[in-house]
């Protein structure tokens, strides 16, 4: 495989993205939203069956996936040492011998971001100094979101002050369950204002939303309120990212872009641990939204163990042999 083919896939030429400023709340935009669950599931089931990405093309797409990973550690036993190791892996996501075999050692490949809890932001910021890798922080009472709005806004401002360039907020699920769309809009808009220059990813916790129609409406409200990304899950729910939910959310992104001209990003999170799964999500983004969304500015995986499996698959491409999974730890 030539290095040029890989580099062309990872570094596609794209238009400049103008940040989503949001629009005034419009209940009329929600009235016509209805989701046919059976049709969505049928469409989602075709992803990965109609297209087959093999050999050097698969390797190139997996490198693209690496550039879109929010490399994440959100465990109760996180320590500064864990975060430092995570950041080292974000800076050098695959082994040098594999990069040399792929002829990509000069392309500056990194993950899209590193995502941590608020108290560990300073360690991540220091470890990533001199790179363009942003630190993302979960906020607003993650993962349940069951704190007062004033506390949510205070958390956001503290994380931004500590150096986070991206804030992953969680919504109050009760607002969705009650169909209080104006209340949801006001909450997310206040969070966006608290973020300032930091980009905001709004986590819907779709595994706790009972219908795809409500997922679609919550997605639209989040974008109306100025979200830079909409994200499926905290990774702590019993059901996290799925292809049917992804299809619903990305079609709302397309509808919002057609309505306003703003391109909003998408982040599936939780349970995406295999390279094959990553390819399916990338294929869906390409088919539904086009090549513009195949970049970290508009697409991220929220993942911890995914990188290890991608590195394992790349080693198989280079050597023709599968190594044990434990030889490819995340960090």
Enumerate the active-site residues. Answer: 168, 231, 267
Q: Is 85 exposed, middle or buried (0-12, 13-18, 19+ CB in 10 A)?
A: middle
For residues 298-319, one letter each, b for 16 or more C-beta atoms within 10 angstroms of the residue's C-beta and e for the rest, the string is bbbbbbbebbbbbbbbbbebbe
Closest CA to 313 of 305, 326, 323, 300: 323
Q: Which two tokens stand for residue 253?
A: 């992104």
Instruction: Residue 137: count other Cβ atoms within 10 Å of its Cβ.
Output: 28
Q: Which two tokens stand for residue 73?
A: 């550690």
**How far is residue 109 CA from its own chain's centroid?**
17
Closest CA to 231 of 286, 269, 199: 269
């Amino acid at each position: 495989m030539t290095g040029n083919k890989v580099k062309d896939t990872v570094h596609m030429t794209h238009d400049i993205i103008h940040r989503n400023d949001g629009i005034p709340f419009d209940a009329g935009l929600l009235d016509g939203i209805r989701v046919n669950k059976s049709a969505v599931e049928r469409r989602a089931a075709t992803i990965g069956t109609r297209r087959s990405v093999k050999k050097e093309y698969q390797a190139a797409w997996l490198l693209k996936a690496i550039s879109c990973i929010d490399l994440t550690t959100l465990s109760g036993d996180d320590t500064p040492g864990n975060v430092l190791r995570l950041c080292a892996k974000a800076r050098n996501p695959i082994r040098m011998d594999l990069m040399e075999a792929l002829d990509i050692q000069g392309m500056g490949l990194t993950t899209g971001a590193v995502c941590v809890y608020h108290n560990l932001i300073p360690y991540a910021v220091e470890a990533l100094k001199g790179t363009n890798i942003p630190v993302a922080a979960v906020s607003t009472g993650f993962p349940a979101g069951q704190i007062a709005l004033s506390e949510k806004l205070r958390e956001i401002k503290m994380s931004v002050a500590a150096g986070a360039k991206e804030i992953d907020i969680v919504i109050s699920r009760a607002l969705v369950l009650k169909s209080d769309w104006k209340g949801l809009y006001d909450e997310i808009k206040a969070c966006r204002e608290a973020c300032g220059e930091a980009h905001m990813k709004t986590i819907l916790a779709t595994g706790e939303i009972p219908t795809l129609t409500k997922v679609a409406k919550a997605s639209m409200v989040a974008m109306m309120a100025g979200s830079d990304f909409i994200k499926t899950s905290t990774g702590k729910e019993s059901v996290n990212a799925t292809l049917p939910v992804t299809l619903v959310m990305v079609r709302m992104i397309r509808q919002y872009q057609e309505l306003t001209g703003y391109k909003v990003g998408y982040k599936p999170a939780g349970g995406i641990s295999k390279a094959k799964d990553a390819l399916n999500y990338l294929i869906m983004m390409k088919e539904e939204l086009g090549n513009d969304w195949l970049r970290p500015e508009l697409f991220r995986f929220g993942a911890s163990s995914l990188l290890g499996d991608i590195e394992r698959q790349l080693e198989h491409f280079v050597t023709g042999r599968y190594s044990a999974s434990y030889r490819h730890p995340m960090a």
